[in-house]
Amino acid sequence: MVSTVGKLGRIQPPRCRQVATTSPADPGRLRPPRGMDRLDANPANSCPLTPLGFLERAAVVFGDCPSVVYHDTVFTWSQTHRRCLRLASALVSLGISRGDIKLTRTAVDRIEIVGAGPAMYEMHFGVPMSGAVLNTINTRLDARTVSVLLRHSGSKLVFVDPSCLPLIRDALKQLPPGHPPPRVIPVEDPHEKEFPAAPPGTLTYETLLETKGDPEFAWVRPASEWDPMVLNYTSGTTSAPKGVVHCHRGIFLITLDWLVEWSMPQRPTYLWTLPMFHANGWSFPWGMAVVGGTNVCLRRVNAGAVYATIASRGVTHLCCAPVVLNMLANAPEGVRRPLPGKVRVLTAGAPPPAAVLQRAETIGFEISHGYGLTETAGLAVSCTWKKDEWDTLPAPERARLKARQGVRTPGMADLDVIDGETGRSVPRDGSTMGEIVLRGGYVMLGYLNDGEATAAAIRDDGWFYTGDVGVMHPDGYVEIRDRSKDVIINAGENISSVEVESVLYGHPAVNEAAVVARPDELRGETPCAFVSLKEDAPGTVTAADVMSWCRERLPQYMVPRTVVFRAELPKTSTGKIQKYVLRNLARDMDSARKGDE
Amino acid sequence: MVSTVGKLGRIQPPRCRQVATTSPADPGRLRPPRGMDRLDANPANSCPLTPLGFLERAAVVFGDCPSVVYHDTVFTWSQTHRRCLRLASALVSLGISRGDIKLTRTAVDRIEIVGAGPAMYEMHFGVPMSGAVLNTINTRLDARTVSVLLRHSGSKLVFVDPSCLPLIRDALKQLPPGHPPPRVIPVEDPHEKEFPAAPPGTLTYETLLETKGDPEFAWVRPASEWDPMVLNYTSGTTSAPKGVVHCHRGIFLITLDWLVEWSMPQRPTYLWTLPMFHANGWSFPWGMAVVGGTNVCLRRVNAGAVYATIASRGVTHLCCAPVVLNMLANAPEGVRRPLPGKVRVLTAGAPPPAAVLQRAETIGFEISHGYGLTETAGLAVSCTWKKDEWDTLPAPERARLKARQGVRTPGMADLDVIDGETGRSVPRDGSTMGEIVLRGGYVMLGYLNDGEATAAAIRDDGWFYTGDVGVMHPDGYVEIRDRSKDVIINAGENISSVEVESVLYGHPAVNEAAVVARPDELRGETPCAFVSLKEDAPGTVTAADVMSWCRERLPQYMVPRTVVFRAELPKTSTGKIQKYVLRNLARDMDSARKGDE
C-alpha cells in the first residue's frame, strides 16, 4: 500500500519549455488518449509540489524589495534568487547530487549560529535546489553529539559559521576511523571581528558562490513531491536525537498553511529570533519568499537587541520560543523600547504562562500560540483566536484560553486525543488525559535509518503519535498536559506537571518553574518543583511559601512535596527546560534521603 | 506514467479513530518495517488533500459566527456544518453514491440562480461529502443547452431554484427518449413570493434535509485526492460547452493559494456577486470556511442592491466579473452609497479597462486583477501589486499595469507564453505574441467524456494550453492580447482585438466595446468595432469620431474600418461579451457588401 503511494514521485517531472515530441493529433503515438476513462493526474497538474519555486516568483514580483537584512548588508529578492542559484550550481559542481534518494549519502549538513547572516537563509533554497537534502545543525550541541549526527546523516559537506569552527573541528576528530569526513566550508561574517578570517586560499562560502556559482543555473527539480528535502535532528529533551525527514510536498503545504493561519500580509518585516535550525524556523524561510517579506537576522538574541531591532527595522512579525517571549515580557524598563506598531508574535514549544502572556500583550505584542513537533515540520496545531467571543473576557481568562494548544491548522487533516489502551477518542471534558495524535500533509516521512522509531510513531491506524499527553476541551480545543514521560503518578493519581507549573508561574516572584517526579517509596512518585526567582523579586521566598501558594490553588495531591531553588534551570538550545536533568537530580535527592534513613 | 500517478488515490484512507489491528511491534505482521529504505508517503501523511475538512474545523473555531446571510436568514458555521452533513447523508439515502469513479454515473447536478440563498453554498460541501460530484449549472442557459448538459453529465439528481423550474421542465422534455431523467428536487426560497410554492408533499430541499438528513453523518471521504469532486461546463464563448472536471487535491490547493495571494484576514464579510456556478466562485465557497467569513448572498445583482448590501452588511471583500465592476464604477450618483470601509475587489475574465479601474478606485474599491479559466478551477494568475514601486505612479500608468494578467500564483508551478510553432518561450519584450500556458496543482483532470479535447489542452510537454494569446513583459508579467481565435489578421499583421478595445474604452462616451474580424477580400480581415455608448454620454458620437479617436492612438492597420453602435452587446451569463455572435454579424455584413458589389 505504502509503496504504491510512493510511486507518485517516480514519474519524471515535465520538461520545461520544450516542444511536445508527439502532438496529441499525431496518429503514430502509442499512448491511449486520456479522457473519459483517464480523468486522473496528468502531465500539467501532477508536477511535484515544492516550496522551491516560491523564490523564482519572489524574484519576479518582489525583485527590488529587501529579502534579507543583517547589519548593513541588505539583499534584494532578485539578488537572493541569484545567490541561491549560485549556491545550488556550486554544490552540483562539487559533486553533491541527488544520488541515493534514500538520503543516506546525500545529506548536506550545514552548521551556523542562530539566524546569523544571509547564508543560513540562502541554504534553505540553495541546498535543496541542488537536489541535496538540507540538515541544519543546532549550534549549541557539544562536539560529541555533532560528530554522532554527522556520522548518522552521512554528510558530504558542512558549511560552518566562524563561531563554530572549533566545535566542528572537535566533532570531526571524534568521527570513527574510516568514516569519510565531510568537506568543511567556512561561512564568512564580516560583521563579527572576533572570529579569525579563513586563511587566504580557503574555499569559503562567498568564494564558492563567486568562483563556482552560476546564477542562471537550471535548478534541480524534485523527481517526486515525496522526495526528501530537509533533515532535522530532534533536540533531545527526552531521548537520543532522531533524524526527522520531510519531503517537498510537506514543506510546500506547511508553508502555505501558516501564511493562511497567521493571515500573513504582503511584505511583512520578519525578525528571526527563532533559530532556523529549529524545525527550519517553522516554515517561514520559505513563507517569506511567498509574501516578499524582509528577513531581519540577528546574531545575538537578547532583550536589548530584539527591542532595538524591532524599533529600527519596523518589525511586524516574529516567531519565538517561550524562553524568548519570557525574556521580552520580563525585560526591565530600561531595556525595552516602544514598539513601532503592532508586533505579531507566534510562540510554541511550551504553553506560555498566563503572567507572561499578559505582560507581553500589555507591551503591545499580539501573541498567537501553536503547537507542533520537529516531526510535523513546524506547527500543526493553532490556538486560533475567537475574537468576538474571547476578546471581551477578563485577562486571566483570555490567558488561560490562549495557553491551550488549539485546533488543527486548515491544512492538516485531523487531530485527536486518544486513549492509549483502547485507541478511542477521550471524552471532550477537558480533564481525561490521552495521547495527542495527528495526521495530515506535513507529518514527516519518517526517521532516517530508524525504521523501528518510525513505525512506533506512525502507525497503521493512520495516526502520528506525538508522545504528548493532553485533554480535549468541550469546545474542541486540545490542551497539552504533559509529555508522556513527564506525567507524575502520585499514589495512583495522574498529575500533569504542566498544570502545577502554570500555578507556580502565577506566583509573583517566580521566573521559571519545572515540576518532575521524585521517587517515593510510599506514594510511588511525588511532585518536586525546581524554581528560579526573578532578579527583582522583593523579599525572600521560601519553599513553604511556594507550597502554600500551590495549596490554595491545587488539589492536595498535586502540591509539590519538594521545592528546590536554582539560579537558572537547565535548558536545551531551543529554550526548553531539560526535565530529564531535573529528574535525575530528583532521583539522586531521593537516594540521598534513603541513605539517611 | 499517468496511470501510475493515479494509483496514489487507490489506497484506502486511514480509518479514523480506530485501533491499529497490528501493532508495529507485532512480530506476526507481514509488511516490512518502514524506515531507512521506506522514507516515503505513509499512512499519517498521505491522507487525501480535500477542502471538505475545512467545514468541520469552521464549526469548531467559528461555530457561533455567521456563515451565510440571505435576507433575514442567518446561519452560523455550526448550523451550516450540520446542514451540509444532513444534505450529504440524505443524498446517500436517495441512492447517490460514489459509484463509478469515472464520473459518468455519479454526477449530481444542481441548478440555482446566482448565489441566491444558503442552499447553493451548502451544496459545495454537502454534495461532495456524499461522495458525489457537484455540477453547478449556469441558470441563464436555454432549455436545450441544459438538456444537453444533463444528458452529457448523466446526472441522477437535480436541485432546482424556484425561478428555474420552468426551464428545467423544458430541459427534461428535450432529453432523448430512453434517457433516464434525473430526479428533480425544488429548493425553497421563502423570501421570493413571486414563485409558486411546491405542492404539499413534494420532496423539497428543506424537507429532504429534515426528513432524511443525519447531522451526525460520517461524511464520505475521497479514496484519493485525485478523485473527481466538481464538474463545470465552460460558458461557451467560443465553442460547444465542455465539462471540466476538478479533483479534491486541486480544489484544496487553489483554496489555500488564493487566501494567501489575496492576504485574506480572518472573518471577512464576503459578498457573492460572482455566481457560484462560475468556476465555483473561484474557490471562495471553500475559502470562506477556512477563515470563518460571512457569505452574504444576493438574488439580484444590480448596482443599487450591491451598494446597499455593502453598506448594510459591512462587506469587506467581493469577487466580480468585469461587467459588474463596470456597473459599479459607472453607477449614477443617486444609486451609489458611501462604502463602510475599504472594500477589496477581485476581478477577472477580461482586462478591466483603465477608465473603469480608475473610477472604481476613486469610489474606494481596492481592485485586484487576476486571470484563470474554468480549466484552472478559478484564477491561476494574479497581477500581484508592487506597492512600493507602483503606488506612486500616475493613475493611467497604474491602470495600465493593473490591467495586465500578471504572474502565476504562489501555488501554481509555472506560467509561460510560448510560440505555437517552436514551443519555445517568446522573448520578454511585451510585444511578441504567443499562447499562454500553465502547469500546476489545480489544472483540471480533463474534460468529461472528451479525451480528444483533453489531449489537445493538456499535452505531453507538461503544459496546459489556455487558448489565450498574450505577451510576456520584460518584468515577467503576462498580458493577454486575445483569445487565439479573436486575433485579427489584417494583410498579414496580427491585431490584438483587446488592444483596440482598450483604446475604445478610453473614449469618454464609450460604455462597452468589442472588436472582431470582418472578412475582407483584399486584406483578409479588417477590424470591426461594436460599441455601446454611456446613457449619459453628451452629444452625438459618430463612427467617424470613433475612428479618428483610434487613429490618434493606434497604428493605421489597427484602426477599425467599421464601427457599429448597439444599445447593448451580447453577453454570456458570466458577463463576457460573446464575440462569436459579433463575428457572425460582421461576416453577414460582409456577405451583404459582397452581394452589393
List pLDDT tens digits, range A316-358. 999 998 888 989 998 998 999 999 999 999 999 777 888 888 8
Residues B337/B307, Cβ–Cβ less than 8 Å: yes
Task: Give B9 to chain A, closest Cα distance, Å.
Answer: 8
Q: Compute the nearest-CA separation of A508 from chain B (Å).
A: 33
Q: What is the per-residue pLDDT for B515? A: 94
**Residue contact B460–A21, C-beta within 8 A:** yes
Instruction: Assess contact for A438 and A415: CB atoms under 8 A.
Output: yes
- Site of grid cell 554528510: A155
- Cα separation of A98 and A12, whole Å? 14
In this prediction, residues A278-285 reach a mean pLDDT of: 94
pLDDT, mean of residues A405-411:
97
DSSP string across A505-519:
HTSTTEEEEEEEEEE
To the nearest whole Å, the CA of A531 is away from the closest chain B CA by 36
> What letter does residue A300 receive in the DSSP assignment?
S
Residue A474 near residue A499, CB atoms below 8 Å:
no
What is the tens place of the pLDDT at every residue in A178-194?
Answer: 888 888 999 988 888 88
Find residues 56-115 of chain A whose CB sits inside 8 Å of chain B.
57, 60-65, 102-104
Question: Cβ distance A182 to A157 under 8 Å?
Answer: yes
Q: Please, what's the b/e burial string for B402-434 (b: 16 or more CB within 10 A of its CB; e: otherwise)?
A: bbbbbbbbbbbbbbbbbeeeebebbeeeeeebb
* Mean pLDDT, 10 residues at a time, chain B of 597 residues: 28 30 32 52 95 98 96 96 96 74 43 69 94 86 84 87 88 91 88 81 94 96 93 67 93 98 97 91 97 93 94 97 88 92 91 84 94 96 92 89 95 95 94 94 94 92 93 96 77 78 89 91 88 84 93 88 92 78 85 42
Q: What is the DSSP letter of B38?
A: G
Residues in chain B closer than 8 A to A442 (CB atoms): 45
Confidence of residue A116 (pLDDT cuts 50, 70, 90): low
User: Mind listing the pLDDT tens digit for each residue in A428-458?
Assistant: 999 998 999 999 999 999 999 889 999 999 9
In the numeric block, which cell numbers belong to residue B73?
436568514
A465 near A457, Cβ under 8 Å?
yes
Confidence of residue A401 (pLDDT cuts 50, 70, 90): very high
pLDDT of residue A19: 26
Q: What is the mean pLDDT of residues A529-548?
A: 89
d(CA B254, CA B112): 24
Q: For position B596, what pLDDT does the model report?
A: 38
Direct distance between the N- and C-terminal alpha carbons of chain A, in angstroms, rounded to an integer: 60
The answer to whether B276 and B400 are in contact (CB under 8 A) is no
HSE (side-chain half, CA atoms, 13 Å) at A531 = 30
CA distance B530 to chain A (A): 36
- Looking from the CA of B213 toward its CB, the CA atoms found within 13 Å total 21
CB distance B6–A40 less than 8 Å?
yes
Task: Note whether B218 contacts A: Cβ–Cβ < 8 A.
Answer: no
Q: Are A402 and A247 in contact (CB under 8 A)?
A: no
In Å, how far are A192, A202, A465 from A256, measured between CA atoms? Answer: 35, 39, 24
- Using DSSP's 3-state secondary structure scheme, residue A13 falls into coil
- Strands (DSSP E) along B282-327, which ranges? 294-296, 317-320
Q: Does B414 touch chain A (CB under 8 A)?
A: yes
Write the single-letter amino acid at B579. K
CB atoms within 10 A of CB A476: 17
- pLDDT of amino acid A103: 38
ipTM reported for the complex, 2 dp: 0.83
What is the distance of C-alpha B383 from the center of its chain?
A: 17
The total of other beta-carbon atoms located within 10 Å of residue A394's CB is 8
Q: Which three cell numbers stand for residue A243?
A: 533524524
In degrees, to the nearest 5, what angle opens at C-alpha A71 toward C-alphas A65 and A73?
A: 45
User: Please, are residues A164 and A113 in contact by the beta-carbon 8 Å criterion?
Assistant: yes
The rounded distance, in Å, linking the Cα atoms of A405 and B59 is 18
The C-alpha atoms of residue A20 and residue B528 are separated, in whole angstroms, by: 36
Asked if the B494-596 domain carries CATH number 2.60.40.1180, the reply is: no
Report the C-alpha gap between A414 and A401 in whole angstroms. 21
- Assess whether pLDDT exceeds 80 at residue A268: yes
The amino acid at A125 = F
Element containing residue B185 per DSSP (H, E): strand B183-186
- Contact yes or no for B442/B49 (Cβ under 8 A): no
Residues 546-585 of chain B whose Cβ lies under 8 A from any Cβ of chain A: none
Kindly state whether B291 is in contact with chain A, defined as any CB-CB distance less than 8 angstroms.
Answer: yes
Nearest CA-CA distance, residue B342 and chain A, Å: 15
Cβ of residue A216 closer than 8 Å to a chain B Cβ: no
Q: Phi first, then psi: what are they for B182, rounded to 5°? A: -70, 155
Query: Are the C-beta atoms of B264 and A263 separated by less than 8 Å?
Result: yes
CB-CB neighbors (< 8 A) of A35 in chain B: 446-447, 449-455
C-alpha cell of residue A168: 566542528
Cα B514 to Cα B510: distance, rounded to the nearest angstrom: 11
d(CA A182, CA B488): 63
Nearest to B226 by CA among B438, B8, B14: B8
Q: Does domain A493-596 have CATH number 3.90.420.10?
A: no
| Cβ atoms of A426 and A433 closer than 8 Å | yes
Residue burial A107-130, b: 16+ Cβ < 10 Å; e: rest: bbbbbbbbbbbbbbbbbbbbbbbb
Helix (H, G, I), strand (E, B) or coil at A138: coil
Interface probe, candidates A4, A10, A31, A40, chain B, greatest B C-beta count within 10 A: A40
Query: What does the alpha-carbon distance between residue A418 and residue A425 come to, in Å, rounded to a whole number?
Result: 4
CATH number of A53-412: 3.40.50.12780
Of B7, B259, B423, the CB nearest to A18: B423
Supply the angle between the helices B284-291 and B118-129 in degrees, to the nearest 10. 90
| Secondary structure of residue B551 in the 3-state scheme | helix
Write down the pLDDT at residue A499.
81
Angle among Cα A494, A496, A499 to the nearest 5 degrees reads 140
| Whether A503 contacts A566, CB under 8 Å | no
* Structural element, H or E, at residue A563: strand A562-565
Q: Give CA–CA dist B92/B566, Å, rounded.
A: 50
Q: What is the CA radius of gyration of chain B?
A: 25
**What's the confidence (pLDDT) of residue B112?**
57
Tell me which residue has cell 537587541. A305
Chain A residues with beta carbon closer than 8 angstroms to that of B11: 1, 4-5
Give the rounded percent of residues in chain A with a pLDDT score beyond 90: 55
Q: Mean pLDDT over all residues of chain A? A: 85
Mutate to test the interface with A, among B16, B21, B39 (most CBs of A within 10 A): B39
Return d(Cα B5, Cα A229) in angstroms, integer: 20
Q: Which pTM was predicted?
A: 0.84
Q: Nearest residue on chain B to A414, judged by CA atoms?
A: B53
Helices (H), A104-224: 118-129, 143-153, 165-173, 205-212
Task: Assess B38–A contact: CB distance below 8 Å, yes or no.
Answer: yes
The whole-number average pLDDT for the span A146-172 is 88
Same fold, A53-412 and A493-596: no
Please compute the mean of the pLDDT values over residues A50-65 and round it to a whole number.
97
For chain A, give every domain's residue range: 53-412, 493-596
Backbone angles phi, psi at B175, to 5 degrees: -65, 145
Taking contacts as CB-CB distances below 8 angstroms, the residues of chain B near A384 are: 61, 266
**Position A586 pLDDT exceeds 70:** yes
Q: Which of residues 382-401 of B touch A (CB under 8 A)?
A: 384, 386-389
The amino acid present at B386, given as its one-letter code, is K
Question: Chain A closest CA to B402's CA: distance in Å?
Answer: 13
In this predicted structure, what is the pLDDT of residue B591? 53
Would you tell me which residues 4-23 of chain A have a C-beta closer than 8 angstroms to some C-beta of chain B? 4-23
Q: By CA distance, what is A244's nearest residue in B?
A: B39
Residues of A in contact with B229 (CB under 8 A): none
Distance between CA atoms of residues B137 and B141, nearest Å: 8
Which among B69, B134, B443 is positioned nearest to B276, based on CA atoms? B134
